[in-house]
Amino acid sequence: MPSSKASKIRGDQKYYTGVAKEKIGKVIGSQKLAEQGKAEKQAGISERDAASVQNGEKEKHDEGAKEQKDKIVKKSDEIMEQVLKCKFTDCKL
């Protein structure tokens, strides 16, 4: 049952999908994909912020969410390093 209200989960999904698209676009040299990712990432941030306001929360993100985000970004960076390494060598992921 879809909701018209802003959702933190949906905002996070948009944000992390955008991060992935942006990084992949940069790796494969697709400016269009990188820009789409950047826009989707911003849309996710906006939706999370709107959900926080709707829920009457003063803090945008709690410490646990920040730690989880940091872990995901770190893992994403590690994966992108592997992709870049393989792009210039004959390796398999």
pLDDT of residue 43: 93
Query: Per the structure, how many domains does the chain have?
Result: 1
Q: Is residue 18 part of a domain?
A: yes
Let me know: does 93 contact 82? Beta carbons within 8 Å: yes
Tell whether 26 is covered by a domain. yes
Per-residue pLDDT tens over the stretch 14-40: 999 999 999 998 888 889 989 999 999
Q: What is the pTM of this model?
A: 0.58
Neighbours of 47 (CB within 10 A): 21
Average pLDDT over residues 55-69: 66
Is residue 1 situated within a structural domain?
no
The predicted structure's pLDDT at residue 61:
54
Domain that holds residue 73: 8-87
